[in-house]
Structure formats: structure tokens, C-alpha cells
């Protein structure tokens, strides 16, 4: 929570409708996302109860487990879900593009598009993770055999769930997360976890304020919870008698009635998000998602093992380091794409906006061995300048150019520029800010950060348990009870 978002929240209270906290969309939205609304049986460890799934708003497919405690029926549910999800995933494993060779990499193929799963909330992401965990180790022969698609489903769900922890990834997205990244409501973050209330604030029905719509959305009779947890009253008064009666039609209509309102909210959410123009760097992050997808698809095709239950020490440390770098990059990219997010850094003093009042584009620094182009610009800041000499800043308008603080006097900041001006001793037009140009400079950087060095798996130090045993799934994993 930043002060700008807090201010947006109080403005939402007074205006009665959610306020924007982003000017562009920061998530990628597929042209045909797979919307997945799962329900789990209360009290059990992620026992599937029902789900609506599909990639077209008018064709949701309802899957449900008639006797949720029956193990075989759960695996039938998993197999049906696998049929839908795997064929959706497969439909992206067609056209590829060639990624040219890099400094240390061979040229490779990459799928031109990737699947995207949308779930209602954080609980939906948790469902995907746990359902992946409970299916990926299953065996397809011998005792407890399941359909061949079930362990494959588990691997893919696990991939999606793990990727969703990666900052900026859009392969598996929670709708409440995506919406509350772009709008601030007049309620608390706790209440924003209710999809119906959140959408009510952002897009209230005509004649109603967002606050009223959100209040109405809290009634589980009109707006059943978006899952995976069900409404306890529904469980006791509708679901339990229907299961008891063993009536499939009763169950089907009961579960459909619980899921349909959320299904519609999901597509309303999709169109709300589509209404925002995408940020300039969204495509770049989606490319990273397509890379991850391509890599995992070939790993699966080559018969790779299911993902281990726990990371070994080195892999865990590497993953954490990757996530931290991704987070820093993601924060910087969003701020570069979106002046409203950059404004948060202006508020905290990590950025300032101003107008160029003097510029010496052809200034040469000849103090070193080689004469180099080091233009000076003077920016009259409209924000308080908390940075001082020694600080180095970048403007999103010219991301490859760095400015270092030379001096600050009052609101006037003198910067020495380097980079982004070609190799010569004269500056190409437009590469150096001209007098009168309005700019924002920030300490945020999206430049490449070299990954930290980690020991190899075989050299895991004794402090971290020494080299780990190679993980091989065994029969015990496959035989794990599910009751």
C-alpha cells in the first residue's frame, strides 16, 4: 500500500466508485483465456467438488464430483478436467518463432502464443497448486492406476502454480489480484478478496453506487462465494441433501447455480481489463512467459519427472534469487510504463519530474585517456529533490541513458549524461533532452542484473545438508491416500 493508493481509496469512499491506480494494463490478457472456477468440499484437503471451465463466455463446461468423498470419482473429475485443460494447452504447441542465438545461447524455437488460465482469487491459485500436487505423482498402471492424463494434468497445474509466483508472469492470473492492481476501492484489501464486491466497486450496476453494489455482493444468496470454499449454508441446506439423495440433476443444478454468478463476474473482469491499454513492457514479460511455457512443454514431451515435493537447497536459493530479481525488474518496468506508478517514486523522493532549462549536448569530457561525450542538462524540478550528488538516475523516456548528479541548487539539478547517444563525439538529434522538454528521472533501473553465483547441486555445502539425493518418484508417492 502506497500513499497514492491510500488516497485513491479515500477518494473511492467519497465518490462511491473505485478509482484508477494505474493508467495502463500491467497484465497480459490472452485473446482466448481459459477461465477456471473451482469449488472444493469443505473440511477436506482440496477435495474437488465442482468447476466451471472454458475459454468462451457462453460455453462454460460444468464438471462435478457426485460423491466428493469417493476417490475414484475424484480421479474421474481429474481426467475430465485434464481432457479440457490439456487440449487447451496443446492448442498453443503449434506455430513457433526462432529466437536468434545470444552470446552464450544457441538459437531456439519458441511458441508464438501461450495458454493463460484465469481463476477468481488467490484461493483459486491455491486450488490449482494443491490439485497439481495431488495428481502429478499418480501412476497409470498397477494398483491405484489412474487415467494417463491425470499425472500429466498434475504436472501442468504445478507448472502454472509455480509460474504464478514469478512477479510479472501472466500464465495463471487471479482476477481479484489483476483488478485490484488497477483499481482502488473504498473498502479494505480484506474485502477486495471478494470478487463480487470488488467488481461491484469498479463497475456498479446503473443506479447503484459501488459501495451499495459491494454491500449487496456480500449476500451469499445473490452472490455465492467465488470459491474454492463454498457457502456453509449452501453446504448444509442444499448440497448435503442433494448428495444424500444421490440425485445427479439436483446436484448439477445446485452447483451450477453456485458457480454461474462467478463465471459471469470473471468475464466482466476480463472486459474491464481489456478496456485498459496494455503497458509498453507487458509484451516483453509475456515473451518470458512464452519462453517458460515452451521450455516446460518440451520437458514434458521428453518425459521429465513430476516436479519434486520440495526444492533442494541450491535450487531453492536460485529460485529465490530469480524471484527477487524478477520483482525488482517488474517494479521498474511498471513504473516506466505508467506515470501514475512512477508518481509513487516521486512521492517517496526516488524520482523527480521537471523541465530542462539548460542543455549542453556537445560537452566533451577530456580528463581521461579518451575524449568522451558527456552532455550536461539542467532540470528544474517541480518535486522536492531528495537525491544528491553521486546519485544516478534514468528517465523512462530514454531508458538506455544514465544521468549522474553533478550538483543541486534549489530546484535545479545538473545531470551529466552517458549512454544512448551513439559512439561519436556529436549527439544524434533527440538523444539528449532539449531545453523545454519535460522529464521524469528515477533511481529505478531496468538494466540487466547479473544472476548471483551458486554452487552446483553436487557442491551443496554441508551447512545446507550436502549434495542431495537424486529425486526419483516412487510407488509410495503414487499410492498416497486421498481420502
Partner 1 sequence: MTNLECLRGAAAPKSHNARTIAALTTNPGCSRRAVMDAAGIDKERLASHVGFPARFGQSQFAITRGNVFEAQLKANGCAELLRLLREVLALPIGAAAYDDLESVNQLDARADRSRELLTRAADGDEDAGTLFDHPLLRLEVGGRWVYLEPDLIALQFGGKFYVVEIKSFAVIDGKADGTKVSAAATQSAVYVLAMRRLLAEAGYDPGLVSHDVVLVCPENFSNRPVATLVDVRKKLSVLERQLARMGRIDAIVDGLSPSLTFDLQVDDAGVPQRPVAELVDGMGQIDARYSPECLANCELAFFCRHEARGSTAALGKSVREELGGVSSVSHALSLASGAVPPAEDEIEAAEMLRFAAKLRSECLS
Give the interface with partner 1 as residue ranges (CB under 8 A).
1-11, 13-14, 20, 23, 41-47, 68, 130, 133-134, 186-191, 220, 230-233, 235-236, 239-240, 309-310, 339-340, 343, 346-347, 383-384, 480-483
Q: Taking the complex as a whole, how short is the minimal distance between the CB of residue 448 and partner 1, in angstroms?
A: 28
Q: Taking the complex as a whole, how short is the minimal distance between the CB of residue 21 and partner 1, in angstroms?
A: 9
Nearer to partner 1, 295 or 384 (CB): 384
CB 200 within 8 A of CB 210: yes
Nearer to partner 1, 332 or 421 (CB): 332
Nearer to partner 1, 112 or 189 (CB): 189
Nearer to partner 1, 90 or 471 (CB): 471
- Angle formed at CA 229 by CA 227 and CA 235, multiple of 5 degrees: 115
**Residue 455, all three cell numbers:** 554452487
- Angle formed at CA 294 by CA 289 and CA 296, multiple of 5 degrees: 95
Q: Taking the complex as a whole, how short is the minimal distance between the CB of residue 219 and partner 1, in angstroms?
A: 9
Q: Taking the complex as a whole, how short is the minimal distance between the CB of residue 421 and partner 1, in angstroms?
A: 29
Which of 237, 266, 241 is closest to 251 using CA atoms?
241
Nearer to partner 1, 158 or 427 (CB): 158
CB 165 within 8 A of CB 109: no
Nearer to partner 1, 115 or 123 (CB): 123
Listed in sequence order, the residues at least 6 apart from 402 whose beta carbon sits closer than 8 Å to its beta carbon are: 392, 393, 394, 417, 418, 419
Q: Taking the complex as a whole, how short is the minimal distance between the CB of residue 140 and partner 1, in angstroms?
A: 18
How far apart (Å, rounded) are the C-alpha atoms in residues 152 and 307? 11
3-state helix, strand, coil in the chain (%, to 5): 40, 20, 40
User: Is residue 196 helix, strand or coil?
Assistant: helix
Q: Taking the complex as a whole, how short is the minimal distance between the CB of residue 310 and partner 1, in angstroms?
A: 6
Q: Taking the complex as a whole, how short is the minimal distance between the CB of residue 78 and partner 1, in angstroms?
A: 12
Taking each helix axis as running N to C, give the angle between helix 175-182 and helix 248-274, from 0 to 180 degrees, rounded to the nearest 10: 30
Nearer to partner 1, 220 or 468 (CB): 220
**Residue 335, all three cell numbers:** 513504473
State the burial class of residue 288 (Cβ atoms within 10 Å of its Cβ: 0-12, 13-18, 19+). Answer: middle
Amino acid at each position: 500500500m502506497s500513499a497514492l493508493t491510500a488516497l485513491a481509496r479515500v477518494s473511492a469512499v467519497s465518490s462511491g466508485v473505485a478509482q484508477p491506480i494505474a493508467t495502463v494494463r500491467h497484465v497480459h490478457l490472452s485473446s482466448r483465456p481459459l477461465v477456471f472456477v473451482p469449488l472444493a468440499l469443505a473440511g477436506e484437503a482440496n477435495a474437488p467438488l465442482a468447476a466451471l471451465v472454458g475459454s468462451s463466455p457462453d460455453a462454460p463446461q460444468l464438471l462435478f464430483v457426485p460423491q466428493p468423498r469417493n476417490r475414484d470419482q475424484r480421479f474421474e473429475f481429474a481426467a475430465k478436467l485434464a481432457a479440457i485443460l490439456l487440449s487447451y494447452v496443446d492448442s498453443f504447441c503449434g506455430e513457433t518463432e526462432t529466437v536468434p542465438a545470444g552470446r552464450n545461447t544457441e538459437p531456439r524455437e519458441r511458441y508464438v502464443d501461450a495458454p493463460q488460465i484465469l481463476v477468481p482469487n488467490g484461493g483459486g491459485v491455491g486450488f490449482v497448486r494443491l490439485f497439481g500436487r495431488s495428481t502429478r505423482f499418480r501412476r497409470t498402471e498397477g494398483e491405484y492406476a489412474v487415467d494417463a492424463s491425470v499425472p500429466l494434468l498434475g504436472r501442468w497445474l504445478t507448472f502454472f502454480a509455480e509460474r504464478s509466483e514469478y512477479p510479472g508472469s501472466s500464465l495463471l492470473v487471479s482476477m481479484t489480484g489483476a483488478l485490484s492492481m488497477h483499481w482502488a476501492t473504498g473498502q479494505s484489501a480484506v474485502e477486495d478478496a471478494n470478487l463480487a464486491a470488488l467488481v461491484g466497486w469498479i463497475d456498479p450496476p446503473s443506479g447503484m453506487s459501488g459501495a451499495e453494489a459491494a454491500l449487496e455482493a456480500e449476500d451469499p444468496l445473490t452472490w455465492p462465494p467465488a470459491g474454492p470454499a463454498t457457502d456453509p449454508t449452501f453446504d448444509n441446506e442444499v448440497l448435503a441433501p442433494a448428495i444424500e439423495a444421490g440425485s445427479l440433476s439436483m446436484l448439477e443444478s445446485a452447483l451450477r447455480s453456485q458457480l454461474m454468478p462467478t463465471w459471469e463476474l470473471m468475464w466482466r473482469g476480463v472486459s474491464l481489463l481489456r478496456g485498459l491499454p496494455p503497458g509498453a513492457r507487458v509484451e516483453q514479460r509475456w515473451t518470458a512467459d512464452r519462453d517458460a511455457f515452451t521450455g516446460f512443454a518440451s520437458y514434458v514431451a521428453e518425459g521429465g519427472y513430476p516436479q519434486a515435493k520440495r526444492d533442494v537447497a541450491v535450487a531453492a536459493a536460485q529460485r529465490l534469487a530469480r524471484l527477487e530479481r524478477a520483482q525488482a525488474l517488474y517494479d521498474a518496468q511498471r513504473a516506466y510504463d505508467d506515470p501514475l506508478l512512477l508518481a509513487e517514486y516521486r512521492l517517496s523522493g526516488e524520482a523527480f519530474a521537471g523541465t530542462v532549462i539548460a542543455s549542453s549536448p556537445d560537452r566533451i569530457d577530456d580528463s581521461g585517456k579518451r575524449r568522451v561525450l558527456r552532455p550536461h542538462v539542467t532540470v528544474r524540478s517541480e518535486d522536492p529533490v531528495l537525491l544528491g550528488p553521486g546519485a544516478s538516475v534514468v528517465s523512462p523516456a530514454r531508458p538506455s541513458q544514465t544521468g549522474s548528479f553533478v550538483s543541486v541548487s534549489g530546484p535545479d539539478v545538473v545531470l551529466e549524461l552517458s549512454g544512448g547517444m551513439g559512439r561519436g563525439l556529436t549527439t544524434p538529434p533527440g538523444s539528449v533532452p532539449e531545453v523545454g522538454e519535460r522529464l521524469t528521472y528515477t533511481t529505478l533501473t531496468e538494466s540487466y542484473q547479473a544472476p548471483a553465483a551458486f554452487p552446483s547441486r553436487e557442491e551443496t555445502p554441508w551447512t545446507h545438508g550436502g549434495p542431495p539425493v537424486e529425486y526419483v518418484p516412487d510407488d509410495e508417492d503414487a499410492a498416497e491416500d486421498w481420502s
